Homo-oligomer: A and B are copies of this chain.
């Protein structure tokens, strides 16, 4: 079996941030989200359906996204998610949190 050093497991807690950010650009269904994630991260990030859909429900339950059924571009039944106002705030909070965290970890990694 060939080495596939490309895929990386998601770090827990970052999926919500990713989804919120992508929805910031407009409503999307689950499948589109997985495609965007792969495309934008250039194949590094890859989301299981088994992670994504529970995450979307979570976000919906917390009022950060709203969902409705509608036909997809290919005329299949799809559930579209979009950011709520609360979701936009949450996005900014999580983004800030991520930045603080990754900066702090950067400090540690570059400590002599």
Contacts and interface: CB of A to CB of B under 8 A. Distances in A.
Contacts of A95: 109
Contacts of A12: 11-13
Contacts of A21: 108-109, 111
A91 to B, nearest CB: 10
B8 A104 contact: yes
A76 interface: no
Interface string A36-63: 0100111011000000000000000000
A107 interface: yes
Contacts of A22: 108, 111
A89 interface: no
A102 interface: yes
A71 interface: no
A9 B37 CA distance: 24
Interface of A: 8-9, 11-14, 17-18, 21-22, 25, 37, 40-42, 44-45, 95, 97-98, 100-105, 107-109, 111-112
